[in-house]
Amino acid sequence: MTKDFVLSTEDLTVGYDSPIIRELNLHIKPGERLTLIGPNGSGKTTLLKSLAALLKPMEGCVYLDGRSAGEMSGEEVARHLASVMTERVKPELMTNRQVVETGRYPYTGRLGILGEEDNRAVDEAMAMMDVGDIADRLFTRISDGQRQRVMLAAALCRDPGVLILDEPVSYLDIRYKLDIMKKVSDIAREKNTAVVMSLHDPDYAMRYSDTVAAVGYGGTFRIGSVKEIFTENFIRSLYGIEDVDEALFPTKPWF
């Protein structure tokens, strides 16, 4: 039954003009980390956008806590689900705290003025993401890694049941990659938030997921545990690198 799942889909078909992934049935439990892997252009972002209600499904339905997202208002969806996509903007003269505060908008009245509870949620989220000390600095003047933490705090402060992340660690250096992935796992564990994300690096996908979904060209979709998906042959065929003569997975972890 869809009620036990924070996020589920029923025969979901996604795409822009023509369908990219067809008739998908996903069921995600609270606190579960689902990672989408697959080559560029296979439709990971399209799927994430559809799950995050940023893109209207071509067919089928997305359910949040058992209720159809299509029948909820935009703000209601935003209270259940937060997303951090790859769109990179340079908002003028906004401090990090002001950026995080916008994350609370779905709970505020018409003018978007934060109340006491909202401010507390913002403080907590910023503390958890370790950005409390840069709260008053300008968002445009901090590093990419810090910016990603601020965006996570903005998503976190509205206490969503589902967090959707599109390539949260691309273009970050190794220190921030590990840092962000750890924080995402903390959110899933401590807040019991379901996380659906896409990752480029199979290594991170192996280490920081409970479930992995492989999205291939032509809309192929296979979902399973880390062990089920990460077999040498499957990963090779997924990315179309059957003829590359190098071991994909190190026999021992490198760290």
Residues binding another protein (CB under 8 A): 52-54, 73-78, 82-83, 85, 87, 89, 91-94, 98-99, 102-103, 105-106, 108, 110-113
Judged by CB, which is closer to another protein: 180, or 238? 180
Tell the smallest beta-carbon distance from residue 111 to another protein (Å): 6
Shortest Cβ 236–another protein spacing (Å): 33
Q: List, as one string, the DSSP characters of 22-38.
A: EEE--EE-TT-EEEEE-
Nearer to another protein, 58 or 138 (CB): 138
Which single residue is written with the structure tokens 């990090």? 96
The residue to which tokens 């980390």 are assigned: 33
Shortest reach from residue 222's CB to another protein, in Å: 28
- The number of beta carbons lying within 10 Å of the beta carbon of residue 201 is 14
- Which is closer to another protein, CB of 66 or CB of 112? 112
Decide whether 40 or 73 has the Cβ nearer to another protein.
Answer: 73
**CA–CA dist 93, 72 (Å, integer):** 33
- Nearer Cβ to another protein, position 53 or 128? 53
Nearest alpha-carbon partner for 232 in 221, 218, 246, 222: 246
Q: Which is nearer to another protein, 85 or 178 (CB)?
A: 85
Cα gap 215→45, rounded to integer Å: 10
The answer to whether 58 and 15 have CB atoms below 8 angstroms apart is: yes
Q: Provide, rounded to whole angstroms, the least separation between the CB of residue 91 and another protein.
A: 5
206, 204, 208: which is closest to 195 by C-alpha?
208
Is residue 213 left, alpha or beta, with left meaning phi > 0 and alpha meaning psi from -120 to 50? beta
What is the C-alpha separation between 223 and 26, in angstroms, rounded? 9
How near is the Cβ of 235 to another protein at its closest, in Å?
A: 30
Q: Would you tell me how many other CB atoms lie within 10 Å of the CB of residue 87?
A: 7
Nearer to another protein, 163 or 229 (CB): 163
Beta bridge partners of 161: none
